[in-house]
Homo-oligomer: A and B are copies of this chain.
């Protein structure tokens, strides 16, 4: 059986105690750099694979510094501090002396507590009733995702930037924390939902809060995830969005909430 392109892209070679060697993947290439989601996923995976890692990801924030060039890169993880129930990590990706992405993350033991999901999952048709969007590009990472758009027309002047989209890996792949991290960058840039023309954009920061543990992710399998996102402000060359990722065995569990800040040209 051939390895899934996502797993091939995330194949890291350990240099103990805390360095990891990887290579950029053509399968997840974007315009001038790898897809931001695959970079975030590789840095997440390096942390998850550290032998001293305990608990599951709780929060993960990545700042993108400069484009990663085709070829070899190094990820360095640092366990800044471990408490009884949580760990604080810093993760850096570099090529030679140049740090190109910087992340901080928290892992924690999940505890059984009073729980309540206040966000409401949008009522949308199931994925098999929503046609897949035609590929936006013939090569690179957009080939690695199937998008079934329920709300939000790309490259149009929609009255708002709110979108509902079913997203899945191509080919299908069981969900885990690395792929969930990558899915958190699969949202269409919000500016393309407000303006008909293409403008250059680049994500500068992504923040993710994970609201479910390994078992819930494993229970989800390879089904499409429902992603929801909306911008709050476009100003002075940057816009934000806030997003939700819904899935789990019944498809109605809030797996992650995420925000990002994106640079745009004009």
Q: Which residues of B contact A195 (CB under 8 A)?
A: 114
Kindly report which residue of chain B lies nearest to residue A266, judged by CB atoms.
B113
Per the 8 Å Cβ criterion, residues 78-115 of A in contact with B are 80-81, 83, 86, 88, 90, 98-99, 102-104, 106, 108, 110-115
Beta-carbon contact of B110 and A209 below 8 Å: no
Per the 8 Å Cβ criterion, residues 170-198 of A in contact with B are 194-195
Q: Answer yes or no: A264 CB below 8 A from chain B CBs.
A: yes
Q: Which residues of B contact A230 (CB under 8 A)?
A: 118
Interface of A is mostly: strand
CB distance from A186 to the nearest CB of B (A): 19
Q: Answer yes or no: A130 CB below 8 A from chain B CBs.
A: no
C-alpha gap A76/B228 in the complex (Å): 38
Beta-carbon contact of B63 and A88 below 8 Å: yes
Q: How many residues of A contact B (CB 8 A)?
A: 59
Q: When A233-B257, A261-B58 are in contact, do A118 and B160 touch as well, CB less than 8 Å?
A: yes
Q: Which residues of B contact A264 (CB under 8 A)?
A: 113
Per the 8 Å Cβ criterion, residues 236-251 of A in contact with B are 236-238, 240, 242, 244
Beta-carbon contact of B81 and A231 below 8 Å: no
Beta-carbon contact of A88 and B59 below 8 Å: no
Kindly report which residue of chain B lies nearest to residue A242, judged by CB atoms.
B242
Q: When A114-B234, A207-B259 are in contact, do A80 and B99 touch as well, CB less than 8 Å?
A: yes
Beta-carbon contact of B115 and A99 below 8 Å: no
The residue that A63 contacts in the complex, of B59, B231, B261, with Cβ under 8 A, is B59
Q: Which residues of B contact A205 (CB under 8 A)?
A: 59, 61, 106, 209
Residue numbers of A with Cβ under 8 A of B are 58-59, 61, 63, 65-66, 80-81, 83, 86, 88, 90, 98-99, 102-104, 106, 108, 110-119, 160-161, 194-195, 204-205, 207, 209, 211-213, 230-238, 240, 242, 244, 254, 257, 259, 261, 264-266
